[in-house]
Amino acid sequence: MSTAQAKPEQPKSPGKEQPRYPTTGEPISTIARRAKAGLWTLIVMDAAGTIAIIIAYSYLWSLNVNGGWAPPGASLTGSETDQSLPSSPPTASFAVEWPFWAIFGLVIISTLAMWFGYRELKRGNHAGMVVGTGAALVVAVGALVAQWIQISTFPFAAGDGAYASAVLLLCASNIFNLLILIFLQLGMLIRTSKGLVSQAVHYQPQILSYWMVWLCIAFLLGAICTSFMVESPNLDPAIFGTFQQQS
Amino acid sequence: MSTETITQTATVFGDEVPQPRQYGKPGGIMRRLNMGTALVGGIGLAAIAGFVANALVPSGASTVTFAPVAPDIVYLAILVGWTIGFSVGIGAFVGPIRWLFGRDLTHADAEYMAGKDLGVKRYFKFTTDHKVVGVQYLVVFAFILGFGGLLAMLIRTELGVTWSEVFSPAFYNSMIGTHGIAMIIAMIISVMGPIANFIMPIMIGARDMAFPRLNALSLWLVVVAALCLVSTLFTGGIQDGWSVYQPLASQGPPAMLGYQMTIIVFAISTGVASVNLMVTALTMRAKGMTWSRTPIFVYGIFGAALMGLYAFPFFQYSQIMALTDRIWNTSFFNPLQGGSVWLYENLFWLLGHPEVYVIIIPGTVVLFELMPVFMRKPLFSFNFAVAGIVGVVALSGLVWAHHMYMTGWAPAANYPFMLSTEMISIPVGFLVLVVIGTMWRGLVWTRLPIMAVYAVIFNKMIGGVTGIYLSDVPVDQYMHGTMFVVAHFHYMLMGAGLFGAMAGLAFYFPKMTGRVLDERTASIGFWTAFTGFQITFMAMFVAGLQGMPRRVLQFDSLFNAPNWISTIGAYIIGLGMLIFAGAVVSSWISGDKAPANPFGSKSLEWQTPTPVPLENFAVLPVVTERPYNYGVPDPYEKELQEADQDLHPEEVGSR
């Protein structure tokens, strides 16, 4: 391969010197482009994980194997269920739907606050960025607390059938996502306060804002599942492992 | 960056660059962290977590399958403690914590973390230089391959000694499962780890990978995962094959948790490695390196990384669900409570088949990279090669259920999956066509790497054709679960993947180690292993055609002869691999110093000095032509021909 030698990449507008990345000396725009590409690939990876959860939820919901989708006591399908192996008293029921949407709403508010801060930063309003990020952080912590309260007050336990398992996994995934989000927002707040995030160096809050849009989609998918895919449509479920004939 | 945070500037490749405040000596706490602290942290936290879990869990508690809970909880606590402790001890969390508190790295910090002036110590630290990570990957790969290979020898010993039982059935089953997953991990990292990490950034004219710390993280997570896997041998073993189908796994010993932790951690490693490789290929190519001038190796690695990126989370979540089923009594896979074992199989094979291409594509493109060098002609139909890779990546996610023909899941879907599986042979055929077209009328410079190409083509042809048999539903109804399947996938994963990786190692050995490989000894090892490979797996095809089921300890005497032959072949493979490994190690220690470009290659990675300097290129290159222009006439050749006209024919002949 024929090659020539070139100077390191220069900023596009020579009159306006771009900040340089301290470790490599590259222009910040180069680092930002790289980080954005990293973000998109991370979203692909996280989306695959989210799809895996959604597949698990919808698959078990549609099959209703052994009539075991619904928690004991909440089964409205009239299906033949092996009642010899209940794991808890038949008082459990499906989860209330609105908390899923409330938590989704909090994530949206947090995202909007982050975008507000980012917009203000681009306008040169450093204080606006601090306010926006701080507000986004507070709301995200609120969402985490709400998620925790929801999990701890579910009317079922982990062993109460496939619905309980799928919903708990969705909520655990939400908690994981919120913990990462809070870490990133806290870091952004500290870094903004220290002046490491500025009008000239704003790619990190931009990336975080994009990431939060993806989180909104992930939370929305979860809320849709838990609201519109509650009772299994399969009223004549397959019976496995009990030597019973399918009706 | 505000001015109050800037305390100094540093000269970075000739430019004065403002630096954040330096806290202490360059490297900070990373100066104190290494593999020793990682082991202390991992073992220490594992012990503490184990003791705490043991004290807290009631001894009489049992799971829904009436298995005692305490061993599971204690073992899981040990595994989690090991993973976190090791990661903390090696310094994996230092970067995120520094970022959180705004203590950004300086250039001096980054150079320290890249291993500047650290000598051999840099191979035992969380070093960010891609070349160090590549070499670390090579060593880790060798250890995992050796571990899996040793288990293979023991398995073949059991099957060859047909007159008695060498191992207990439970331990035999454990060896099968552990061998399977160890080899899968080894093969996934065989090219993507050592060669892609070391070579690809230089090949595209970059100074490092896009995210150097993620690069180091991916390597050390493999170490964490590998030791989780080894621990399963001491906790009951993985007794239900590498696929650990449910509900067998939920009824198995605590070792299942070790398997699940291995996969969860390895999936994170693969994910961050994939992100890194893809972003590096997308954003860090040198000026002038358009997509048509980008080496085919980069396309292959990008494609394999993309498959790993989208497919591994399915596998990871299948194991998370299996873990919660076991520990928290959830019922994803427990039919008695609404779960489905088919859900597991679907999630598992959504990775399981793309993973085959994650292994084979890098093993193939490394051949594409070396063939033009030794044939002294351009790669045949670069566009076909790209189309082949794109086709494989596109179809790889649509073929998973051909592993489930016989499970009873969605029989109506069998034929669409048969079609998609057979369709994937078209882009794979493109790749074979590129190999044959490049070899056609080439002036072969017979060295070990090019000889390995012949071996890989032979193996891939057999593996590919038998794969088409197995993709047919009627044939699979007979062949499924037999030794025929085992022989088929070994021809693909080992015959094409491992031998391709060996070719790549032989080719890039001088650049990676700075030494010349003892090709004579390595060739003896290579061809011995190749011969043993054919003996082992041809005999296994015969046993499979006769109907011998896989994963069995005892079998009918009808199958004795192919098993004896197969075991002899396996020992020959082992001997060959030892000879090859001996050549590699001895050359690495005391081989002749390698010149910068011993094969006269035109691609960028060979234009750097050997050993490659820390920054790869003092000044970044600009690419002006395609990487395989070996067919372009040499400008001096015309002058030489004109001079020849003035000479007497005998003088020309003697030249």
Residue given tokens 């439970």 in the structure block: B170
Q: Are A81 and A66 in contact (CB under 8 A)?
A: yes
Lowest mean pLDDT among B248-252, B336-340, B387-391, B416-420: B248-252
Lowest mean pLDDT among A123-137, B157-171, B572-586: B157-171
Examine the pLDDT at B163 and tell me if it is beyond 70.
yes
How far apart are the C-alpha atoms of B112 and B611, rounded to whole Å?
A: 19
Q: Which residue of B has its CA nearest to A85?
A: B336
Using CB atoms, which residue from A45, A53, A68 is nearest to B271?
A: A45
Question: What type of residue sits at position A202?
Answer: H
Tens of pLDDT, residues B343-382: 999 999 999 899 999 999 999 999 999 999 999 899 999 9
- B87 is written with which tokens? 């990661």
Q: Are B170 and B588 in contact (CB under 8 A)?
A: no
* Residue B187 DSSP SS3: helix
**Average per-residue pLDDT in chain B?**
92
B207 CB neighbours in chain A (<8 A) are: 24
Beta bridge partners of B515: B593
Examine the pLDDT at B168 and tell me if it is beyond 50.
yes
Examine the pLDDT at B129 and tell me if it is beyond 50.
yes
Beta bridge partners of B18: B9
ipTM for the whole complex: 0.91
Examine the pLDDT at A6 and tell me if it is beyond 90.
no
**Domain that residue B391 falls in:** 126-603
Report, as an integer, the average pLDDT of B612-629.
92
For A210, residues 6+ apart whose C-beta sits below 8 A from its C-beta are: A36, A39
Q: Residue B637: its pLDDT value, please?
A: 61
More confident residue, B316 or A239: B316
Classify strands A3-5 and B621-623 as parallel, antiparallel or unpaired.
Answer: antiparallel
Tens of pLDDT, residues A75-108: 544 444 444 444 555 678 899 999 999 999 999 9
Q: Residue B13: its pLDDT value, please?
A: 85
More confident residue, A90 or B460: B460
Q: Which of B63, B317, B350 would best serve as a mutation to test chain A binding (most A beta carbons within 10 A)?
A: B317
Using CB atoms, which residue from B15, B105, B607 is nearest to A25?
A: B15
Please judge whether B324 and A165 are an interchain contact, meaning their C-beta atoms are less than 8 angstroms apart: yes
Please judge whether B1 and A19 are an interchain contact, meaning their C-beta atoms are less than 8 angstroms apart: yes
Structural domain total, chain B: 1
- A226 is written with which tokens? 């838990």
Q: Does B408 touch chain A (CB under 8 A)?
A: no
Q: Residue B336: its pLDDT value, please?
A: 87
pLDDT band at residue B646 using 50, 70 and 90 as cut-offs:
low
- Assigned domain for B567 exists: yes
What is the b/e burial string over B129-139, where b = at least 16 CB atoms within 10 angstroms of the residue's CB?
bbbbbbbbbbe
Tens of pLDDT, residues A156-198: 999 999 999 999 999 999 999 999 999 999 999 999 999 999 9
CATH number at residue B445: 1.20.210.10
Tens of pLDDT, residues B289-306: 999 999 999 999 999 999
Report, as an integer, the average pLDDT of B529-549.
97
- A14 is written with which tokens? 């020579």
Q: Residue A89: its pLDDT value, please?
A: 57
For B83, residues 6+ apart whose C-beta sits below 8 A from its C-beta are: B42, B224, B228, B261, B265
Secondary structure letter of residue A124 according to DSSP: T
Q: Does B21 touch chain A (CB under 8 A)?
A: no
Examine the pLDDT at B571 and tell me if it is beyond 80.
yes
How far apart are the C-alpha atoms of A152 and A138, rounded to whole Å?
A: 21
B616 CB neighbours in chain A (<8 A) are: none
**Average per-residue pLDDT in chain A?**
88
- Assigned domain for B245 exists: yes
Tens of pLDDT, residues B227-249: 999 999 999 999 999 999 988 88
CB pairs under 8 A between A and B: 241
Report, as an integer, the average pLDDT of B323-339.
92
More confident residue, B259 or B642: B259
Q: Which superfamily does A30-61+97-228 belong to? A: Cytochrome c oxidase, subunit III, four-helix bundle (1.20.120.80)
Q: Which residue of A has its CA nearest to B114?
A: A23
Q: Are B456 and B496 in contact (CB under 8 A)?
A: yes
Of A47, A181, A46, A180, the residue nearest A113 (C-alpha): A181
Report, as an integer, the average pLDDT of B252-270.
96
**DSSP assignment of B191-229:** HHTHHHHHHHHHHTT-SS-SSHHHHHHHHHHHHHHHHHH
Neighbouring C-alpha atoms within 13 Å toward the C-beta of B554: 8
pLDDT band at residue B250 using 50, 70 and 90 as cut-offs:
confident
Q: What is the CA radius of gyration of chain B?
A: 26
Beta bridge partners of B8: B19
Q: Residue B441: its pLDDT value, please?
A: 85
Report, as an integer, the average pLDDT of B577-600.
96
pLDDT band at residue B64 using 50, 70 and 90 as cut-offs:
low
**Percent of chain B surpassing pLDDT 70:** 94
- Closest Cα of chain A to B339: distance in Å? 6
**DSSP assignment of B96-148:** HHHHHTT-PPPHHHHHHHTTTT-GGGGGGS----HHHHHHHHHHHHHHHHHHH
- Assigned domain for B145 exists: yes
Question: What type of residue sits at position A22?
Answer: P
A4-13, A80-89, A229-238: which is most confident: A229-238
Of B187, B210, B208, B212, the residue nearest B199 (C-alpha): B208
Q: Are B621 and A5 in contact (CB under 8 A)?
A: yes
Examine the pLDDT at A7 and tell me if it is beyond 70.
no
Of B258, B261, B254, B248, the residue nearest B334 (C-alpha): B248
Please judge whether B324 and A169 are an interchain contact, meaning their C-beta atoms are less than 8 angstroms apart: yes
Of B604, B403, B367, B410, the residue nearest B498 (C-alpha): B367
The end-to-end CA distance of chain A, in Å, is 71
How far apart are the C-alpha atoms of B279 and A44, rounded to whole Å?
A: 13
Global confidence as pTM: 0.92
Please judge whether B338 and A241 are an interchain contact, meaning their C-beta atoms are less than 8 angstroms apart: no
- Closest Cα of chain B to A201: distance in Å? 7
In this structure, what are the phi and psi dihedrals at residue B472, rounded to the nearest 5 degrees?
-80, 125
Examine the pLDDT at A114 and tell me if it is beyond 90.
yes
A34 CB neighbours in chain B (<8 A) are: 210-211, 279, 283-284
A5 CB neighbours in chain B (<8 A) are: 619-622
Tens of pLDDT, residues B98-118: 999 999 999 999 999 999 999
- Assigned domain for B118 exists: no
Q: What is the CA radius of gyration of chain A?
A: 24
Tens of pLDDT, residues B427-455: 999 999 999 999 988 888 999 999 999 99
Tens of pLDDT, residues B487-501: 999 999 999 999 999
- Assigned domain for B250 exists: yes
Q: How far is CA B600 from CA B439, B445, B451, B627, in A?
A: 18, 11, 18, 12
Neighbouring C-alpha atoms within 13 Å toward the C-beta of B46: 19
Please judge whether B621 and A6 are an interchain contact, meaning their C-beta atoms are less than 8 angstroms apart: yes
For B273, residues 6+ apart whose C-beta sits below 8 A from its C-beta are: B192, B193, B214, B215, B218, B305, B308
Examine the pLDDT at B1 and tell me if it is beyond 70.
no
Dihedral of CA A145/A150/A153/A159: which sign?
A: negative
Examine the pLDDT at B18 and tell me if it is beyond 50.
yes
Q: Are A74 and A165 in contact (CB under 8 A)?
A: no
Please judge whether B18 and A22 are an interchain contact, meaning their C-beta atoms are less than 8 angstroms apart: yes
